[in-house]
Structure 1
């Protein structure tokens, strides 16, 4: 593995290039862009999947989203769908400059929110020849869903507007956290949803904790997500071979199980498959060895057939 950067507009996007064993620069390799979940970074679950796919002979590029992790960008901790999707196109730009990458055999894999962004990018980025998602989630749906009350999204948008007004007048940028910052804080809130409970365990303990994933979010940046739909026009524009992996265990608030089936039913791809890992929760597929291995086995066959 080696650290690299590529450009998105004027700033550097930080990435790790995972190379196959016995790598030979004189050869041509298929390549896969690997995208991390929302609030994550390239050293977490993205690194696990990138490393395992590199073992199978792929050059894998795992990157930090713009404004997050070690990447630059216009601000910090933004969750802006347009910029997130553009990161993928820029990753493809970078890969086609590498003499050892076969430009006709580039795929993409996204995990959680990164899966939704990967799907959206692939609709217009035709250099991606095969699309994979691991517990892929639609960020726009998550924004709009809120606390499931009828007017939650409207109230949230009004609050975002008020915050932008305050910042325009000189107030400090509002930075929030995605999840409770510890198990004790989680317990104090009385939250029992499996996805939130396991998110706290993954992100705030040695299990998955990384400096590039500080659990921070620019509040005003989330406004753009409310009109974003990761799967919009998938029935027309998503024609590449598609592999979806979801967990068949307890479903939680992040909704990746139902998003997976929505995407499967909607995609125009003639070659498509949805694989359910029995009893696996959303976060089991981030790093639980037996669950990851089942997902990788499916990806192994998928990318071998389609790249």
Structure 2
């Protein structure tokens, strides 16, 4: 069962500029579907309201801590312009979706949410039977890959500016073994506090002044309202999530991914070494498109989004 209403209340995508020259004007439906612990809220972008024939579907997973309006909507809309039914949604505990604790980054739960999204698409009359792709942006690439590794329905995978880490990469990015153990100790303390009192300890996701922030940098995309610093996103990270995040090994997933996989990345984006090692380990057909731009350009800048969305659409057209 699903609920839908035509006309999404989503972020302003008009600033995508040249991207809007594309092929068709998509229709966006507000949808709700069952997750593991409650209702998940999404936007389903369709290529044509009057299209009679079902089309291939793609689930879009945005980066960690994000809501659908920050980057997933943008990619879903661009895929719909290119002929696909594309679903962006808020993961459990984020945005408009149900779930507590709020803003808790659980890779395992996000993979289960992707399965719920696939179940929803399988019931939708606009979607062709058995035709499912998944696109992951940044850390969404980890969740999309884990889902593809265990779900035969995923026939094609595209990863944009993928953050794909293992223990070595975590040590390089989070202060070595000592830094990781400190974060895991803080997570354990926060978990005990939550279990006793129900209180969630949060730090900012992004901050140029708080050293405890998940990303202790003044990142323009997240701090600028005209980009990703939107009202739907509270800029908070549940400290007790650190252990699960740091223990997740995305590079080790690659040998279990048999679906044709495209990676789109840049040497100036996040951890290209992790993307290279993941790509080398893939069990199925694989392709790598190297381009230019920093990590956050791939979230909303016309040149990078247009190139990545176009390459992903071509990949899905060949493999779905």
Band the TM-score falls in, shorter-chain normalisation: 0.7 to 0.9
Task: Kindly indicate whether the alpha-carbon contact (under 8 Å) linking 1:120 and 1:231 is maintained by their aligned counterparts in 2.
Answer: no
Distance 2:121 2:132 in 1: 8
Q: Please say if 1:247 is aligned against 2:276.
A: no
Task: Kindly indicate whether the alpha-carbon contact (under 8 Å) linking 2:161 and 2:265 is maintained by their aligned counterparts in 1.
Answer: yes
Q: Which residue in 1 is equivalent to 2:25?
A: none
Distance 1:171 1:218 in 2: 12
Distance 2:81 2:289 in 1: 22
Deviation of the 1:285 alpha carbon: 1.1
How do 1:21-36 residues align onto structure 2 when only pairs under 5 Å count?
21-24=48-51, 26-36=52-62
Q: Which residue in 2 is equivalent to 1:299?
A: 312
Q: What do residues 133-174 of structure 1 show as CA deviations (whole Å, max 9, x unaligned)?
A: 101113665655553323221222122222223333437320
What is the Cα-based RMSD across aligned positions, in Å?
2.1
Task: Kindly indicate whether the alpha-carbon contact (under 8 Å) linking 1:40 and 1:212 is maintained by their aligned counterparts in 2.
Answer: no
Q: Which residue in 2 is equivalent to 1:183?
A: none
Instruction: Normalising by structure 2, report the TM-score.
Output: 0.84
Any stretches of 5+ residues in structure 2 without a counterpart? Answer: 1-27
Distance 1:63 1:145 in 2: 31
Q: Please say if 1:262 is aligned against 2:283.
A: no
SS of the residue corresponding to residue 150 of structure 1 reads helix
SS of the residue corresponding to residue 240 of structure 1 reads coil
Return 73-82 or 169-178, whichever deviates more.
169-178
For residue 115 of structure 1, the aligned residue among 126, 141, 160 is 141
Instruction: Normalising by structure 1, report the TM-score.
Output: 0.87
Q: Which residue in 2 is equivalent to 1:284?
A: 297
Distance 1:196 1:299, change over 3 A: farther
Task: Kindly indicate whether the alpha-carbon contact (under 8 Å) linking 2:58 and 2:86 is maintained by their aligned counterparts in 1.
Answer: yes
Distance 1:87 1:274 in 2: 27
Any stretches of 5+ residues in structure 1 without a counterpart? Answer: 181-185
For residue 137 of structure 1, the aligned residue among 146, 163, 166 is 163
- The total of aligned residue pairs comes to 288
Distance 2:90 2:289 in 1: 27
Q: Please say if 1:44 is aligned against 2:57.
A: no
SS of the residue corresponding to residue 151 of structure 1 reads helix
How do 1:62-81 residues align onto structure 2 when only pairs under 5 Å count?
62-81=88-107
For residue 165 of structure 1, the aligned residue among 149, 170, 192 is 192
